[in-house]
């Protein structure tokens, strides 16, 4: 299978399916269609394009300084997609293969060091590299190679240079595969658009498909509040700034902002009408996050600084109620029953 070409045929087909169904599509089917066509497919496409650009840049010139702009563009594109942890992104834990975080045991530097020391030949074979530890793959392995002093001192032609090229290429292959799975003829996009029809074994109703997408909206925001903000916050006595996501590349705050922007876009796209209250809160979250002006979230170590960061998380939590009112209730969907409250 050729994963590198984005299937526009599939995309066109998805459009055809939509047109065929539009006449009788109810509000839930329409919401699914808006999300697939207006949110998900543009996001997977952009991520595939930006990682392809990163791959090409890396094969050209692999040094840290040369690659950082393309790296940031690829990471930005991932932030527009990471909340959609379903279908091909969920399968085989691709989400963690792309973004291995949190790395609680410091596996990434250990794994990279081991590879460099052993001069592991997997870097010269894309097929082999696709089977190395996920700690050595994806955006966070690249972050170490491009930003951490222990790894950045390499030149064109060094083993580390080949390692960076292998990670970039592997990432773009994964992204291309995800895009192709979303857009191909019988792909995940079609599965969602066909929910409730005889062709769909996965989703027996439009409600199920929409429910899945709605859950991604809610868990995406919860992840940002609990993980991206909660981890570095730690406790008042013991703040943990070094637990912030992507602080090495100075992207900790940027990732929070981009994840909220992605959720905002998903909310607006899914909502049957302008979700006024949701937008009020999420825009307030974004304004407060921008105002932190603290790329690495180092300010969590300061009592006043952490208060401001905490407020951002609290406002994100507050948006969940607004989303339930603005979007969940009119569309007849709610967050997971067991996921939030097991036993």
Partner 1 sequence: MTTRRNFLIGALAASMVPQLSWADAGSPAYLGAAKDESGQFALYGLSATSDIVFRVDLPGRGHAAAAHPTRPEAVAFARRPGTYALVVDCANGQVKHSLQAPKGRHFMGHGVFMRGGDILVTTENNYADRKGCLGLWQRSKDYARIGEVDSHGIGPHDIRMLSDGTFVIANGGIFTHPDQGEGRDKLNLDTMRPSLAYLTADFTLSEQHFLFDDLHHASIRHLAVHDDGLVGFAMQWQGDPFDSVPLIGLHRRGDAAPLLMEAPLGQQMSMHAYASSIAFNGAGTELAITSSKGGRLHRFALDGQFVGAAARTDLSGLAPYETGYLGSDGFGALLAFDPDARVLNSVAGLSWDNHLVSLPRLG
Q: Which conformational region is residue 206 in: left (phi greater than 0), alpha (psi within -120 to 50 degrees), or beta?
A: alpha
Cα 271 from chain centroid (whole Å): 21
Indicate the DSSP class of residue 12.
H
User: Quick one: which of 166, 203, 224, 285 contacts partner 1 (CB under 8 A)?
Assistant: 203
Least distance to partner 1, CB of residue 333, Å: 8
Among the candidate windows 127-135, 142-150, 307-315, 323-331, which touches partner 1 by CB under 8 A?
127-135
The first and second tokens of residue 185, run together, are: 């003829």
The first and second tokens of residue 174, run together, are: 């994964």
Which C-beta is closer to partner 1: that of 47 or that of 203? 203
Give the span between the Cα atoms of 64 and 166, in whole angstroms: 14
User: Quick one: which of 148, 158, 208, 310 contacts partner 1 (CB under 8 A)?
Assistant: 208
Applying CB under 8 A, the site for partner 1 has a residue count of: 32
Among the candidate windows 56-64, 209-217, 257-265, 306-314, which touches partner 1 by CB under 8 A?
209-217
Indicate the DSSP class of residue 327.
I
Q: Which conformational region is residue 297 in: left (phi greater than 0), alpha (psi within -120 to 50 degrees), or beta?
A: left
Least distance to partner 1, CB of residue 99, Å: 11
Least distance to partner 1, CB of residue 339, Å: 5
User: Quick one: which of 18, 47, 100, 144 contacts partner 1 (CB under 8 A)?
Assistant: 100
CA dihedral 222, 95, 289, 214 (to 10 degrees): -40
Q: Does 212 participate in binding partner 1 (rule CB under 8 A)?
A: yes
Helix, strand, coil proportions of the chain in percent (round to 5)?
Answer: 70, 0, 30
Greatest alpha-carbon pair distance for the chain in Å reads 62
Give the span between the Cα atoms of 171 and 56, in whole angstroms: 12
User: Quick one: which of 19, 23, 198, 201 contacts partner 1 (CB under 8 A)?
Assistant: 201
Indicate the DSSP class of residue 226.
I
Q: Does 97 participate in binding partner 1 (rule CB under 8 A)?
A: yes
Q: Does 337 participate in binding partner 1 (rule CB under 8 A)?
A: yes
Least distance to partner 1, CB of residue 287, Å: 30
Q: Does 27 participate in binding partner 1 (rule CB under 8 A)?
A: no
Residue numbers of the site for partner 1 (CB under 8 A)?
86, 90-93, 95-97, 100, 102, 104, 133-135, 201-205, 207-208, 211-212, 215, 227, 332, 336-339, 342-343
């Amino acid at each position: 299978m050729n994963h590198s070409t984005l299937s526009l045929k599939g995309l066109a087909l998805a459009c055809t399916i939509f047109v065929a169904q539009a006449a009788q599509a109810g509000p839930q089917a329409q919401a699914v269609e808006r999300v697939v066509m207006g949110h998900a497919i543009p996001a997977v496409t952009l991520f595939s394009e930006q990682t392809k650009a990163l791959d090409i840049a890396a094969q050209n010139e692999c040094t840290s300084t040369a690659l950082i702009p393309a790296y940031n563009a690829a990471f930005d594109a991932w932030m527009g997609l990471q909340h959609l942890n379903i279908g091909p992104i969920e399968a085989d834990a691709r989400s963690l293969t792309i973004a291995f975080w949190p790395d609680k045991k410091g596996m990434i530097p250990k794994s990279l060091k081991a590879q460099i020391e052993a001069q592991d030949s997997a870097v010269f074979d894309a097929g082999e590299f696709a089977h190395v530890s996920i700690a050595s793959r994806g955006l966070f392995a690249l972050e170490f190679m491009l930003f951490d002093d222990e790894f950045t001192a390499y030149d064109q032609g060094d083993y580390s240079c080949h390692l960076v090229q292998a990670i970039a290429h592997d990432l773009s292959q994964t992204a291309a595969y995800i895009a192709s799975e979303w857009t191909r003829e019988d792909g995940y996009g079609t599965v969602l658009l066909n929910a409730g029809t005889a062709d769909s074994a996965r989703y027996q109703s439009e409600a199920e498909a929409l429910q899945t997408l709605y859950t991604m909206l809610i868990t995406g925001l919860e992840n940002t509040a609990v993980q991206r903000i909660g981890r570095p916050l730690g406790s008042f006595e013991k703040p943990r700034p070094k637990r912030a996501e992507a602080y090495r590349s100075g992207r900790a705050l940027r990732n929070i902002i981009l994840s909220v922007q992605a959720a905002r876009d998903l909310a607006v796209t899914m909502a049957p009408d302008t979700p006024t209250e949701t937008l009020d809160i999420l825009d307030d979250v974004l304004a407060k996050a921008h105002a932190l002006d603290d790329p690495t979230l180092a300010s969590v170590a300061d009592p006043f600084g952490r208060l401001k960061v905490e407020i951002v998380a609290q406002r994100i939590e507050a948006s969940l109620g607004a989303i339930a009112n603005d979007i969940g209730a009119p569309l007849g969907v709610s967050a997971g029953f067991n996921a939030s409250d097991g036993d």
